[in-house]
Structure 1
Amino acid sequence: MSDLKSTLTEQMKDAMRAKDKVRLGTIRMIQAEIQRVEVDERVELNDERILAVMDKMQKQRKDSITQYLAAERPELAEKEQQELEVIKTFLPQPLSDTEIAQIIDDAIAASGASSMQDMGKVMALVKPQVQGRADMGSISGLVKQKL
């Protein structure tokens, strides 16, 4: 079992003991999503893939919050916000702007990229380093600026 999976299991037990319904429900939702991916793909996920799953869940929560606030449903947005906070506790610390810029510069140098046609090569090098620690949409924009 991966380290992240065992951490999730321990945190779930702690949430049960503390009777923290929001945290418990969110952790169970994360575990269900991980299990769904494992069953669909017939593989056991490693920590990197689990982070990718949780990153996707984080994006979904952010989108939901935006939509609920636009629809004037603050109670639903609050629930999504609480889930988002729990998910963030399992993701690595976000990267600073200078760290992101350095990773992008290193990837451009390593791939020898010189034009927009080389963006795929750069993104292939950048993505594993920033997964779960930065928004890939903003990373893509920064790479476009630099190329």
Structure 2
Amino acid sequence: MAELKTRLQNDLTAAMKARETVTAGALRMALTAVTNEEVAGKQARELSDDEVVKVLSREAKKRKEAAEAFEGAGRAEKAELERQELAVLETYLPAQLDDAELASIVDKAVEAVAAQLGETPGPKQMGQVMKAVNAEVAGRAEGGRVAAAVKSRLTS
């Protein structure tokens, strides 16, 4: 079993014993998402830690979007609950890259693609650059941030 999944299960048990309802709820939803991912497809399989991190990233994104939607609808108490659940999930995710680190990774990827093509890549080669950047970033930055950084680098 993946270490991260085991840690999630142990932390859920501890949160339930301590009667931490927000933490227990967030971990319960995260474990449900992991289990759903394990049984999706033609046959059940066990997820690796990297795959569990991807599922947790997806769940964190859902919490962030839900908080924004609740805030926009004037339901501050529900938005706050979503933010608290997001904070719980973020403790299990790798640290996010800051803008300078992301820009550095994008620059390296652009140079690698330029060396491969023999010319400076433009907006048409965004897919190639994105592929190289995403391999390096591996869940430490949201896809939208990565795409924006690559696009601004290629158009400048």
Normalised TM-score (structure 2)? 0.86
Deviation of 1:13 after TM superposition, in Å, equals 2.1
Seq. identity, %: 37
Which stretches of structure 1, 4 residues or longer, exceed 4 Å deviation after superposition? none
CA distance in 1, matches of 2:83, 2:39: 28
Structure 1 or 2, whichever has the larger Rg, is: 2
Structure 1 unaligned residues grouped into runs of 5+: none
Match of 1:130 in 2: 137
Query: Which segment drifts farther, 76-85 or 127-136?
Result: 127-136
Native 8 Å contact 2:22 2:84 kept in 1:
yes
- Give the root-mean-square deviation of aligned CA atoms: 1.5
Counterparts of 1:11 and 1:129 in 2: how far apart (Å)?
30
What's 2:123 paired with?
116
The number of residues matched between the two structures is: 147
Residue matched to 1:19 = 19
Mapped contact 1:52–1:131 kept (Cα < 8 A): no
| Unaligned residue ranges in structure 2 (runs of 5+) | 115-119
Match of 1:141 in 2: 148
- Going from structure 1 to structure 2, the CA distance change for 1:129 and 1:47 (only over 3 Å counts) comes to farther
Distance 1:49 1:109 in 2: 29
Q: TM-score, normalised by structure 1?
A: 0.91
Name the residue aligned to 1:76.
78
Between stretches 31-40 and 114-123, larger displacement belongs to: 114-123
